[in-house]
């Protein structure tokens, strides 16, 4: 039994349809908001539910705001009340308000951090509480949390400081979830997808353009779903705390921050002596990946 947030359109829609095609029961969550987070509609979620049911699957719609504390709790309860259990939570919902740092307003910062970062934490918080209760009651638990980071969160992206910060936070949150929830029989992983969505097709129009003819559409959002479905399967139970980059047919495991080779003086450093020490460390360290758009 699977919850997919932000499943009315784009990548989330692909996840929900593929889970349904593979026989999972699906809660299709979508607030129905516009790209900037305004407005709302039950239409997109209902359309995905109809498509899953038309293909012989089982699905229900949920219109709760995943970044609202009570809404997130209702979302988890929808799965349990509708299908009797919860096995997989796919956190996907989000939107953009792109600005350069110098132009970003407090409202824009708060809105993006809320939807992406809190919108990942809040549903996971209540899903984790459910799985902990199951485990303590002696019920077998084989749960999955699959989060959605971004290349912007891993590398940074010019004009997307807030979004990059939120997505980097999601990657770090995933590692902590993996460490904390493993004791309850739950894995946590993240994806950093590149695909054509309402968020990307306007910003990266040339890259996201559909190819002509029968050529493979590498940026089709449904290309991301097979990895997410596999991460939600029993076969992935030994995989946790990882971030996967996926673009079209390309798949890789992102290698995040690592401890570098240290220099230990054995005493407090003096700032006057640090210049050559730091430069030597930098010379031996790998060069950072370039920021997107720099």
- 197-237, pLDDT tens digit by residue? 655 545 555 555 566 677 767 879 999 999 999 999 999 99
Cβ atoms of 19 and 232 within 8 Å: the answer is yes
The values of phi and psi at residue 194, to 5°, are -120, 120
Catalytic residue list contains 265: no
Catalytic residue list contains 150: yes
Cβ atoms of 32 and 38 within 8 Å: the answer is no
Given the residues 25, 149, 164, 167, the one annotated as active site = 167
Predicted local distance difference test score (pLDDT) of residue 294? 85
Cα dist from 265 to 262, 268, 269, 270, 281, whole Å: 10, 7, 7, 10, 14
Structure confidence by residue, pLDDT tens digits, 84-129? 999 999 999 999 899 999 999 999 999 999 999 999 999 999 999 9
Given the residues 25, 118, 130, 150, the one annotated as active site = 150
d(Cα 12, Cα 148) in Å, to the nearest integer? 10
Q: How many residues can be counted in the chain?
A: 294
In the chain, which ranges are continuous DSSP H helix?
10-21, 43-54, 69-83, 106-113, 119-136, 151-155, 161-181, 205-208, 225-231, 274-284
Reported pTM: 0.90
d(Cα 80, Cα 60) in Å, to the nearest integer? 12
Predicted local distance difference test score (pLDDT) of residue 39? 43
Q: Which of 250, 235, 163, 236 is nearest to 199 (CA)?
A: 163
Catalytic residue list contains 118: no
Predicted local distance difference test score (pLDDT) of residue 198? 52
Ranges of the chain with pLDDT below 70: 32-42, 196-212, 216
Q: For residue 2, what is the enclosing H or E element?
A: strand 2-4
Given the residues 25, 149, 163, 164, the one annotated as active site = 163
Domains, the chain, with CATH or none: 2-253 (3.40.50.720)
């Amino acid at each position: 039994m699977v919850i997919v947030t932000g499943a009315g359109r784009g990548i989330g829609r692909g996840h929900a349809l593929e889970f349904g095609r593979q026989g999972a029961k699906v809660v299709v969550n979508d607030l129905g908001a516009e790209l900037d987070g305004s407005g709302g509609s039950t239409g997109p979620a209902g359309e995905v539910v109809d498509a899953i049911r038309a293909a012989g699957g089982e699905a229900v719609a949920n219109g709760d705001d995943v970044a609202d504390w009570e809404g997130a709790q209702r979302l988890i309860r929808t799965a349990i009340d509708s299908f009797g259990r919860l096995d997989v939570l796919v956190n996907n919902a989000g939107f953009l308000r792109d600005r350069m740092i110098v132009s970003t307003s407090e409202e824009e910062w708060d809105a993006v951090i809320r939807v992406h970062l809190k919108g990942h934490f809040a549903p996971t918080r209540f899903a984790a509480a459910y799985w902990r209760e199951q485990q303590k009651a002696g019920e077998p638990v084989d749960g999955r949390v699959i989060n959605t980071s971004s290349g912007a969160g891993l590398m940074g992206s010019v004009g997307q400081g807030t979004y990059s910060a939120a997505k980097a936070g999601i990657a770090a949150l995933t590692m902590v979830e993996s460490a904390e929830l493993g004791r309850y029989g739950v894995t946590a992983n993240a994806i950093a997808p590149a695909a054509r969505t309402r968020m990307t097709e306007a910003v990266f129009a040339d890259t996201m353009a559909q190819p002509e003819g029968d050529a493979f559409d590498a940026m089709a959002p449904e290309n991301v779903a097979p990895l997410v479905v596999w991460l939600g399967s029993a076969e992935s139970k030994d995989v946790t705390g990882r971030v996967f980059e996926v673009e079209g047919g390309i798949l890789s495991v992102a290698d995040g921050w690592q401890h570098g080779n240290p220099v230990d003086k054995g005493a407090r450093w003096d700032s006057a002596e640090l210049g050559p020490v730091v430069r030597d460390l930098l010379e031996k360290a790998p060069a950072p990946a370039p920021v997107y758009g720099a």
